[in-house]
Structure 1
């Protein structure tokens, strides 16, 4: 194996390890905040910053912004993420990318299971400091929207990056995936259905899981190997 290629692999392993370790450390620290009986000042200050001063039921910004935030938060809903994932898997199967299809399914489904288990670990109620501008039915920590949007969009971004030409295209795809994930998380705080620490924890868990899946794919999913290139 050429030395330059080996150096790149070592750097990828190191970078992935740092991301996973940092994300897990962040999640543990945020879980301690979530276990506190009283809301942390960090959470309350940011949550109230999205509301008009003295009016906890009135979000900042024009009326259309509230509706836009509901549209953005839908990008992290289970229905939308399942729809996007299913379409991706069906397409990959149609072009006989069996390995890639399995990778997407295991990554996203595994992230969903992990998110559900993490919510069972800490029974944190939803914020009662401000009104909820969207319907919610589960516990607050961590944010499932933030975590699953990170898992889904970053996983799909990593998959696309393996087959797209040029570094600029790769950076663009990852940029869109990260931006979408961030917007979904911010929308959850704006709508008052999550504490900021819930969203940060969701991002930490989602980024750690997506990075782990990406690392596994580098060694078990080779471009072209999972496809029948001759389409026989």
Structure 2
């Protein structure tokens, strides 16, 4: 009984690395459903509530100062070295490169630019919204606070909301957003949530952000992920335009360049007499064909007759009567002079 061989784990990995013959038809593009609209509205309300609580210096600001005076980096110094590296998962440059490399491979494998375009759209929205909020509210961080108990708003800072936290939510959450199966989406959603939660708490541990900065950073990143389905038509149009430009360039490169044809030698023609006698024109040699070496003129084989001995040929025929005592092509016999 013949059975199929079981694929090893490495074989399955290499099978996944093979490029699909065409764009898969099962790519699920998320749409702005009613459930997503409700989540977006709730997150936006939470965002506005955090901003209002900080502006009016409510209990949230007092909690910020309590956590700041607690100084977590002094309470647990043994994990300081690890968290210095872990917080890199929230920096925009390294995370964008890592995620772009993965999504670039997916784009190549599935013959689509949607993963890369979606990542670019999310990062652009992140820079615009979070950057505008940072510089608009101008809050100072814990290390630069001037008045104890104040909200430190509009003093030229740029830490509200937390950029590390919002970037972690968007960069790692985009993997779950672009997942092709529900199971992968659930696992990647949980992984991105844990990663962004850890990055936000790490910034509080290191003393670079207030706790309210981290809460607002989570809300800002989640708003971008929830709003991405609104930009899917724009992403599809951009992909179509880019692929059309690529196809036009390929078509231009594929047009064969006309090769100049060398001028052929003149075709030999036959005289009327030769054509009447049934002779044929010599075959014309192909261009570039090797020609047989010609013998020198002084080595031409066969007897040679002088011009005076040749019989003139006319269309009517020869005008000279034949000579019985002369053989054409040989010299006439003459008596040898002298004894």
Same fold (TM > 0.5) = yes
Contact 1:16 1:215 in 2 (8 A): no
Distance 1:117 1:207, change over 3 A: same
Deviations, residues 170-220 of structure 1 (Å, cap 9, x unaligned) = 321111011111111110101101001011001101101111115654997
The equivalent position to 2:95 in structure 1, one of 81, 93, 103, is 81
Aligned equivalents of 2:104 and 2:142: distance in 1?
Answer: 39
Contact 2:170 2:221 in 1 (8 A): yes
Q: State whether structure 2 residue 142 is matched by structure 1 residue 127.
A: yes
The equivalent position to 1:152 in structure 2, one of 144, 149, 171, is 171
The equivalent position to 2:81 in structure 1, one of 67, 83, 92, is 67
User: RMSD in angstroms over aligned alpha carbons?
Assistant: 3.1
> Which residue of structure 1 aligns with residue 65 of structure 2?
44
CA positional deviation for 1:129: 8.3
List runs of 5+ in structure 2 lacking aligned partners. Answer: 1-29, 146-155, 244-339
Contact 1:147 1:203 in 2 (8 A): yes
Q: How many residues align?
A: 197
CA positional deviation for 1:89: 4.3
CA positional deviation for 1:123: 0.6
List runs of 5+ in structure 1 lacking aligned partners. Answer: 1-8, 52-57, 131-136
The equivalent position to 2:39 in structure 1, one of 10, 16, 19, is 19
Structure label with greater radius of gyration: 2
SS of 1:75 mapped into structure 2: helix
Greater Cα offset, 108-117 or 66-75: 108-117
Contact 1:27 1:204 in 2 (8 A): yes
TM-score by length of 2: 0.51
Deviations, residues 140-190 of structure 1 (Å, cap 9, x unaligned) = 10100111111111112210x2x23xx443321111011111111110101
Contact 1:43 1:197 in 2 (8 A): yes
The equivalent position to 2:198 in structure 1, one of 179, 183, 187, is 183
Contact 1:35 1:122 in 2 (8 A): no
Higher helix share: 1
